Structure 1
Amino acid sequence: MTRLKVGLAVVAVIVLTGGGFLWLRGSSLVAVQDVQITGVTASDGDKVRAALESVAKDMTTLNVREEVLREASASYTSVDDVKVQSDFPHTLRIQVIERRPVAAVSRPGERRVPVTSNGTLLRGVTAERDLPSVKLKRDPAGARITDRRILNALTVAGAAPDPLRGRTDEVKVDKRGVIVDLQEGPELIFGGGDEADKKWAAAARVLAEISAQGATYLDLRIPGRVAAGGLAPIATPTPDPNAQPEAENSPTLNP
């Protein structure tokens, strides 16, 4: 019989005797020695791992205190939750559920701060370059953004499909509502944050149409009837010095 089998047999005897389990669950025989952490991608990841490992190694695989692990990671804004699984006798697996930033907010000339679609500010986390920018006039008070107009902009940013998310430079708000600036593309006018996914889908379909090439903006406020404005003419004739200027083209495209 191997040493492992002997050890397990001893453990079984202890558990089967009265009160043995209570002793065993806090015993070094089942102390956590191997902490496996997954799901960490944010810039504060090393600190998150260190905090979780520190408290995990004070536990046993028969006495895992998830609330302590959550408290240990609560000060790191990138962490939304943790899921824990023990593997007898010495392994503890921790899956970190991170908050997903959809944009980065900042005041002019200041450091960008990642933010989630519900307005949670991920302070202490480095904003990735591909996150679209949302400019603020003043610093938000507290841990979350509460300005309804900015929240609409974050809703739109969070609903962006992957191909267009990578092309989004800035999400802003003006009198027309939420506006998205695309790289090498037209301005996208969303209006409110309602039906953001449908508006993005309509934008993707229209942008794929040859007839929309050259548009300077797409008005997506009614996703079933997208208006494209500023379309360039197919051919540029010789200018007539006596001709009167024509009104801007604003055809309606049905995606």
Structure 2
Amino acid sequence: MASSYDRRSSSSGSSRGRERAFGSHRSTASRGSGANPAHRDPFGVARLKHERSARGGPREPGVGDRIAKAKRLERERKRLQRKRRNQVRALVSIALVVASAVGISALARSSVFEIRQVEVVGVRHLSAETVIGKAAVPSGATLLRFPKAAIAERLAADPWVAEVHLTRDFPHTLRIRIVERVPFARVDAGQAIWLIDANGMVLSEDSAETSAALPVVRDVPGLELKPGRKSTSEVLHNALQVLAGLPRDFYSQVRAVSAPSIDETSLITTDNVEIMVGEAVDVPKKGEVARKIMREQGKDVVFIDVRNPDRPVSRGLSE
């Protein structure tokens, strides 16, 4: 009886030992290289990559690729739209320019703005009739089509005219504004007395109504004066610069300028006082010195030399 019990126990223990050994081996094998791949890659990513590689085909586009492609297509569509709009605008602009040019050309050829009146402003020595005659506006000219440069050139040829301005007064009036030269002195050239401006431009022969208060420049050698021409005489220009340098109230007291040479240029006042000025340098100072001497000596003084204003010389009636 006893020996039978022992064999069963021995047999049972051996079985449990073999199960533990085999179970341990199976557990170890399951953790090795022969384990089920689903345990290591539950989502099958590796399998999908392997299958795609085996097929050799391109990667199927994902959501991100489709979105990027859609954006590129949208950008290209908008670029083409902008290009078409710009082309349309350019064509419209060209059409408007052409239409405007055609319209203006047709309007210029028409008589809608025909010049029917010429208005002259700014003249004093010239008459309006003289200006209109010199302008010679062609018959049938319009405010949009008239020879502006030719009219201005004809008017500027007159010695009295310093500037010409032509303006349109729609619908039918052309306005001519003249800026005249201002007579500054008279020049006795021997056979005639001429009016000149401060720059030596010869304007016209002297007339009593124009030059009553202007001083006369005389004794200038070698003068050849002609209306519309500027004198080239240095002696004459020196005399004009002397007059221009005087204060206005002193200028009005000068009735003549004797200018046989630059150094001998002298002023003769309305009180018959001769003031030797010479070269047109420091003219305001020379004038002030001369006036001071005339105030101090009164009517007794007849000659003053201020060519050197720091050392003036004067003579009276008794000398």
Using the size of structure 1 for normalisation, the TM-score is 0.68
The residue number in structure 1 matching 2:232 is 146
Report the Cα distance in structure 2 between the residues aligned to 1:57 and 1:197, rounded to whole angstroms. 54
Residue in 1 that maps onto 2:279: 192
The structure-2 alpha-carbon separation of the partners of 1:17 and 1:148, relative to structure 1 and needing over 3 Å to count, comes to closer
The question of 1:121 aligning with 2:210 is answered no
**Residue 268 of structure 2 is aligned to residue 181 of structure 1:** yes
Deviation for aligned residue 1:33 = 2.4
Q: How far off its partner does 1:152 sit?
A: 0.5
What amino acid maps onto 1:164 in structure 2? F
Contact persistence 2:195–2:205 (CA under 8 A): no
Q: Post-superposition shift, 1:140?
A: 0.7
1:91 alignment partner, one of 156, 173, 197: 173
Output the CA distance in 1 between the equivalents of 2:132 and 2:243: 32
Counterparts of residues 55-94 of structure 1 (less than 5 Å): 55=137, 59-63=141-145, 65-94=147-176
Partner of 1:156: 242
Structure 2 counterpart of 1:213? 298
Aligned pair in 2 of structure 1 residues 141, 187: CA closer, same or farther (>3 Å)?
closer
- Matched residue, 2:193: 112
Q: How has the CA–CA distance of structure 1 residues 100 and 195 changed in structure 2, closer, same or farther, with 3 Å as cutoff?
A: farther
Question: Which residue pairs with 2:127 in the alignment?
Answer: 45
Paired residues of 1:190 and 1:220 also in contact (CA < 8 A): yes
Deviation, 1:179, is 0.9
Q: What CA distance in whole angstroms lies between the structure 1 residues aligned with 2:282 and 2:144? A: 48
SS in 1 for 2:133: helix
Gaps of 5+ in 2: 1-97
Residues 166 and 174 in structure 2, CA contact (< 8 A), matched pair in contact too: yes
Residue 153 of structure 1 contacts residue 173 of structure 1 at CA under 8 Å; is this kept in 2?
Answer: yes
Structure 2 residue matching 1:23: 3-state secondary structure: helix
TM-aligned CA distance change 1:57 to 1:211, over 3 Å: farther
Structure 1 unaligned spans of 5+: 1-14, 234-247, 249-255
Match for 1:149: what amino acid? Answer: V
Tell me if the contact between 1:64 and 1:86 (Cα under 8 Å) persists in the aligned partners. no
State how far apart, in whole Å, the 1-side matches of 2:311 and 2:138 are: 54
Alpha-carbon shift at residue 203 of structure 1 (Å): 5.8
Q: Corresponding residue for 1:24? A: 107
CA contact (8 A) 2:273 2:303 kept: yes
Q: What does residue 102 of structure 1 align with?
A: 184
SS of alignment partner, residue 213 of structure 1:
helix
* Number of positions where the alignment pairs a residue of Structure 1 with one of Structure 2: 215
Q: Is the 8 A contact 2:118 2:132 kept in 1?
A: no
Q: CA deviation at 1:93?
A: 2.2
Q: Give me the whole-angstrom Cα distance separating, in 2, the residues matched to 1:179 and 1:58.
A: 57
Structure with greater proportional helix content: 2
Deviations 1:106-163, CA, capped at 9 Å, x for gaps: 233x331111222221235745222221224444166332221111012223444443
Match of 1:227 among 302, 312, 316: 312
Matched, 1:165 2:247: no
Deviation at 1:66, TM superposition (A): 3.5
Which residue identity is paired with 2:257?
Answer: V
Question: Cα offset for 1:85?
Answer: 2.1
Identity of aligned residues (%): 24
Query: Is the contact made by 1:159 and 1:196 (CA closer than 8 Å) also made in structure 2?
Result: yes
Separation in 2 of the partners of 1:101 and 1:121? 9
Aligned position for 2:52: none
